[in-house]
Amino acid sequence: MKHYPYEGWILDDIDLDETRRADLEAHLALCPRCAQLSRSLRIALQAIRNAPEQKAPAGFIHKFVSSFESRRRLQERKQARTLAIVFASTALTVVLVSLYVFLPELSLISLAAGAISAVVGLLEGLHHVISFISNAYKNLSPSALIVIGLVFAGWVLLASLTLGLSVWKLAFRKSEVKQ
């Protein structure tokens, strides 16, 4: 028995004209296979149409999008901050060097005073850090010290990686703009 084009008509689930409908009905009456197909499809479609609509939780898409946006913004802000630090330290170095080179007699004293106070401040900070570390060394167990050392090393590594990445990204973007 030929099932063409009746299988196609059944599966397409479209409205047939009078002649074709009669044709199909006649075939379904004779052909158990196509009759079964038609019944199964009708049951399946009915089940799909009757299934309750599942709605996403209220505000799901909004929450998803806004959390994505805020994460992206946070990352951009972090990168901008790192870049700003790099720029600021570079600019400061350039300013100090050019002051020293172009205006030696004018700026040497104030520069020296500034440098000395900076060094003193740094040494004071360093002294605090050292006393903190020596206190910690006396009070903490060796394993805790190792953990602290590892965390510190990891932090330094992460900081240098971030710095390197920012500089690399800056160079990369600049070369992209040039092209």
C-alpha–C-alpha distance, residues 166 and 90, integer Å: 14
> Shortest distance, CB of residue 34 to Zn ion, whole angstroms?
3
Taking phi over 0 as left and psi of -120 to 50 as alpha, with beta for the rest, 13 belongs to left
CB of 47 to Zn ion, least distance (A): 23
Least gap, CB of 2 to Zn ion (angstroms): 7
By beta-carbon proximity to Zn ion, the closer residue of 34 and 166 is 34
Decide: 34 and 2 in contact? Cβ < 8 Å.
no
Which one, 3 or 173, has the nearer CB to Zn ion? 3
Q: Retrieve residue 11's tokens.
A: 């599966």
- Cβ distance to Zn ion smaller for residue 31 or 167: 31
Alpha helices in 51-141 (DSSP H): 60-102, 104-139
Nearer to Zn ion, 22 or 161 (CB): 22
Peptide linkage before 32 cis (omega within 30 of 0): no
CB of 69 to Zn ion, least distance (A): 56
Tell me which amino acid residue 141 is.
S
* Closer Cβ to Zn ion, 30 or 177, answer by number: 30
**What is the residue whose two structure tokens read 């099932």?**
3
Write out the residues near Zn ion by the rule CB under 5 A.
Answer: 3, 31, 34
Please state the closest distance from residue 44 (CB atom) to Zn ion, in A. 18
Sign of the four-CA dihedral 96, 102, 105, 107: negative
How far apart are the C-alpha atoms of 7 and 24, rounded to whole Å?
Answer: 9
